[in-house]
Amino acid sequence: MEFLIDLLQYPFMQRALICGVAISLCAALIGVVLVLKRYSMIGHGLGEVAFAALSLALVLNLPEMYVAIPIVIIASFIILLISQKQGESGDITIALVSAAALAFGVIITSINKGFNIDVYNYMFGSILTLKPSDVAISVILSVLMIMAYFFFYNRLFMITYDEKYAKVCGINVTFYQFLIALFTALVVVIGMRMMGTLLISSLIVFPAIIARRLTHSFKGMAVMSVIISILCFLFGLVISSLLNLPTGASIVMVYIGVLVLSIIWKKIVK
């Protein structure tokens, strides 16, 4: 804790802490819905789309976020539309979209004289790239996510567990599906500066998977997921600073350690 306090003397660490906690909270909440609905790989797929969008932005010399945000949001909507209208499995649709996006991104990057430092930072994450605007956006997103859970909790619960019953009850399932897709896209785009496009999906999936092993209620899973996500982020941040390791990869390794402990705990309890 003392080491973390010392690190907070640096402005870039202050930005990393605020942005990381906010994004971890958002990713944990949206991850609960995605994991229970078996859309857990959408974070990975949208990460590949974000990589393609960033490559395009760098080639055209445009602001990365202004290009990535609309493209990733559109991609998330397309994934949902194809899955719902064509009856395709969510994971199959995600795999197709992510493969196409990755191929497009690699081609664009090759045309632009190969991978440079900007592309690598976005692929693998770097807390040094976080800007004050990223902090503001992540805080606003976390507030909106909490408000969405507070006001639409019952609807999200019903849609997550039984869409058909939700439709019978008069709930506009399509609207909430696209709301989930919108939040997921924003979490991916904003979180990729810290985690990288290749690891951002772990921030969405791991907390929910671990929480599901420790609790059996939707509310308990959401709360536990947020706690796990924030604590793992803090531990990963400290480890990466102590050992001079990539932040995103360090956070993922902490998640893996906690997941192993949860599996052991589950077996001991049984």
Angle, vertex CA 196, rays to CA 113 and CA 202, nearest 5: 145
Q: How far apart are CA 197 and CA 102, in angstroms?
A: 11
Tokens matching residue 240: 């990466």
pLDDT of residue 256: 92
pLDDT of residue 114: 56
Q: How far apart are CA 33 and CA 204, in angstroms?
A: 10
The residue among 257 and 247 whose pLDDT is bigger is: 257
> Could you read off the pLDDT of 5-37 as tens digits, one per residue?
777 777 777 888 888 888 889 889 998 988 888
Average pLDDT on 120-125 reads 68
CA distance readout (Å), 47 to 41, 118, 158, 175, 213: 10, 16, 28, 23, 26
Backbone angles phi, psi at 175, to 5 degrees: -60, -45
Q: What is the domain range of residue 216?
A: 2-269
Q: Does residue 228 surpass a pLDDT of 90? A: yes
Q: Does residue 116 surpass a pLDDT of 60? A: no
CA distance readout (Å), 123 to 14, 84, 93, 149: 22, 30, 22, 30
- In this prediction, residue 225 has a pLDDT band, given cuts at 50, 70 and 90, of very high
Tokens matching residue 92: 């199959």
> Could you read off the pLDDT of 30-84 as tens digits, one per residue?
989 888 887 777 777 888 888 888 888 877 888 777 888 888 888 888 877 776 6
CA distance readout (Å), 155 to 29, 171, 179, 202, 251: 15, 7, 12, 26, 32
CATH number for 31: 1.10.3470.10
Structurally, the chain folds into a number of domains equal to 1
Q: What is the pTM of this model?
A: 0.85
What is the rounded average pLDDT for all residues in the chain? 81
Q: Which residue blocks in the chain are alpha helix, DSSP H? A: 2-7, 11-36, 42-60, 64-85, 90-111, 117-124, 132-161, 163-168, 173-195, 200-214, 218-243, 247-269
pLDDT of residue 89: 56
Angle, vertex CA 180, rays to CA 184 and CA 193, nearest 5: 10
> Could you read off the pLDDT of 233-246 as tens digits, one per residue?
989 888 888 888 88
Residue whose structure tokens are 């772990």: 202
